[in-house]
Amino acid sequence: MQYLSDRLKAVNIGGPDDEGREARHRAVAVQQRERLLDAAEQVIAEQGVAGTTIERVVKLARVSSSSFYLHFEGREELLLAAFDEAVEEEAAAIAGAVRAELPWPDQVREGLRLLLAAIEARPQRAWMCLVESQRGGVALQEHYETALDQALPVLEQGRLLGSAAGDLPETLEEATAAGVAWLLRERLEGSGAEGIGELLPQLAEIVLGPYLGGGEALRLSVAGRGI
């Protein structure tokens, strides 16, 4: 009886074995979710948003359909999560790599250079974020616009450089971010991601020109002042 009592207490209280199992289950769940997101990114790039189905994603991710619904309510939630994670990862990588001691114009140019390098390194992710995001419905379009808004505080720092800030349109930063994204999308749809780094001078001039003036922006777009 004492043995049975001790066993029942162990079941009710839990122990190291239970904690280990829970940790393993959490690790498996994290891995499954990451595989699903990676698979979604690939399927979206290859099949388009319209051709992205749960069946295709779970097959590529090697995850069961029942496990899929432990992580996502459905297809739309998966699409949004894949987009958001891609944006978050790339934005964090770029922000972490730009040196804070650089003058603002050089920070902008370096950020653009890193963005172009990321697009060339991961063309499927770029296609999902810049092209297919425009074809995925209202919710995905809203997440796309929110992603563009992340660039606005950085761009607005250019208004501190001179007295011309008061003459700049209030919507300049929104228009600049949208314009850069449009140019990148056009390039991807036209000739792909290979060699996209050649757009750096053009993009740097577009972004810096309103704040620095055309001549200085052109010089920095080509030279990069020590970057």
**What are the tens digits of pLDDT across the range 77-130?**
999 999 999 999 999 999 999 999 999 999 999 999 999 999 999 999 999 999
Same domain, 172 and 67: no
Same domain, 105 and 201: yes
SS (H, E, C) the chain: CHHHHHHHHHHHHCCHHHHHHHHHHHHHHHHHHHHHHHHHHHHHHHHCCCCCCHHHHHHHHCCCHHHHHHHCCCHHHHHHHHHHHHHHHHHHHHHHHCCCCCCHHHHHHHHHHHHHHHHHHCHHHHHHHHCHHHHCCHHHHHHHHHHHHCCHHHHHHHHHCCHHHHHCCCCHHHHHHHHHHHHHHHHHHHHCCCCHHHHHHHHHHHHHHHHHCHHHHHHHHHHCCCC
Examine the fold and report which residue of 12, 39, 72 is the final residue of a domain before the chain moves on: 72
Could you tell me the CATH number of the domain that includes residue 63? 1.10.10
Same domain, 158 and 60: no
The pLDDT assigned to 149 comes to 97
Domain count, the chain: 2
Same domain, 81 and 48: no
The range of the structural domain enclosing residue 136 comes to 75-227
Same domain, 19 and 120: no
**What are the tens digits of pLDDT across the range 185-197?**
999 999 999 999 9
Examine the fold and report which residue of 44, 72, 100 is the final residue of a domain before the chain moves on: 72
Which residues of the chain carry a pLDDT beneath 50? 1-13, 224-227
Same domain, 110 and 192: yes
